């Protein structure tokens, strides 16, 4: 059965050539192409493949059911708000057992990866929730798929979309891991994800300023501790990022009082880290 749509590729190439003339427009075109070429179903497959590949390449996940359950319970409340914004993807959170790495990232299909080092570095549960909210923002706004269009080129993705490539999920997943696609977010995407994160955490009662305290804490620790704050290197702290967030929180009257410092402290001690505030 022929499922090829021969008119699609030239049309998309034409759109690309005409519109891809500035960084902002280019990002918009990439987002449109990502929406056209990468279905939610494919996104879910690629995300599941990234998860499987990580496991077979030796990434260890935290096994303690109390710690896993804790992170899942925080993420589940955020995912509940995200689902209406992008209903087609499955939302998952995976907790990587690596206490020295302060990082988190979003893979296609709503697969979020959080390192145990990020839990240890966060001062309270609201900071953890803000990071999960930020990464969820990258999923909802299709930034991961946009980065894939940017990284692989239109032709490869068009081939996958047209069914010419027998194993697109597997190949694309390998590319996602190998090329650091998930570190390719633009500055405007970081702003979008920050705004999504603080809106979402405030929506479930957390203090949205936790995002600011987390960023400030990582920034002040930079260069002083052997623990490199990777989350800042993958989500760069531009000079106006904190300032913009402060203004955004004030302008939108976002508020919340829950910090959950004690709840995170209990989890940190299970992970073998210092209690909160130490
Ligand atoms: Zn980000």
Structure tokens at 256: 């919340």
Centre of ligand 1 to C-alpha 161, Å, is 27
Centre of ligand 1 to C-alpha 278, Å, is 27
* Cα angle, residue 171 at apex, residues 104 and 144 outer, rounded to 5°: 35
Centre of ligand 1 to C-alpha 163, Å, is 31
Number of other residues whose CB lies within 10 A of the CB of residue 7: 8
C-alpha 27/C-alpha 133 separation (Å) is 22
CB of 101 within 8 A of CB of 230?
Answer: yes
Instruction: Encode the chain (278 residues) as per-residue pLDDT tens digits.
Output: 444 444 444 444 444 444 444 666 666 777 777 777 788 888 888 888 888 888 888 889 999 999 999 999 999 999 999 999 999 999 999 999 999 888 898 988 899 999 999 999 999 999 999 999 999 999 999 888 887 777 666 666 666 655 555 455 566 666 555 555 555 678 888 899 999 999 999 999 999 999 999 998 887 765 555 455 677 777 777 778 899 999 999 999 999 999 999 999 999 999 985 444 43
Strand partners, 104: 114
CB of 32 within 8 A of CB of 20?
Answer: no
The structure tokens 């709840």 sit at 263
The SS3 of residue 157 is helix
Centre of ligand 1 to C-alpha 2, Å, is 40
C-alpha 264/C-alpha 143 separation (Å) is 29
Centre of ligand 1 to C-alpha 184, Å, is 9
Phi/psi of residue 95, nearest 5 degrees: -105, 110
Q: What is the pTM of this model?
A: 0.82
C-alpha 15/C-alpha 8 separation (Å) is 11
Centre of ligand 1 to C-alpha 214, Å, is 13
């Amino acid at each position: 059965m022929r499922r090829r749509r021969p008119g699609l590729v030239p049309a998309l190439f034409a759109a690309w050539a005409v519109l891809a003339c500035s960084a902002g427009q280019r990002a918009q075109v990439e987002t449109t192409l990502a929406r056209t070429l990468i279905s939610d179903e494919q996104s879910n497959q690629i995300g599941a493949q990234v998860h499987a590949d990580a496991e077979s390449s030796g990434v260890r996940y935290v096994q303690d059911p109390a710690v896993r359950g804790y992170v899942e319970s925080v993420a589940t409340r955020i995912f509940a708000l995200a689902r209406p914004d992008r209903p087609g993807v499955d939302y998952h959170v995976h907790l990587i057992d690596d206490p020295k790495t302060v990082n988190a990232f979003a893979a296609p299909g709503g697969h979020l990866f959080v390192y145990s080092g990020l839990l240890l570095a966060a001062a309270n549960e609201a900071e953890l929730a803000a990071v999960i909210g930020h990464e969820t923002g990258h999923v909802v706004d299709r930034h991961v798929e946009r980065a894939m269009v940017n990284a692989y080129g239109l032709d490869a993705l068009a081939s996958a979309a047209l069914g010419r490539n027998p194993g697109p999920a597997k190949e694309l997943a390998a590319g996602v891991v190998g090329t650091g696609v998930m570190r390719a977010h633009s500055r405007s995407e970081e702003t979008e994800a920050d705004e999504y994160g603080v809106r979402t955490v405030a929506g479930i009662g957390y203090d949205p300023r936790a995002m600011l305290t987390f960023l400030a804490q990582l920034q002040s620790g930079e260069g002083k501790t052997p623990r490199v704050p990777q989350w800042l290197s993958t989500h760069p702290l531009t000079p106006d990022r904190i300032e913009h967030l402060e203004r955004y929180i004030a302008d939108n009257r976002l508020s919340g009082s829950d910090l959950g410092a004690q709840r995170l402290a209990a989890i940190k001690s299970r992970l073998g880290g210092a209690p909160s505030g130490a």
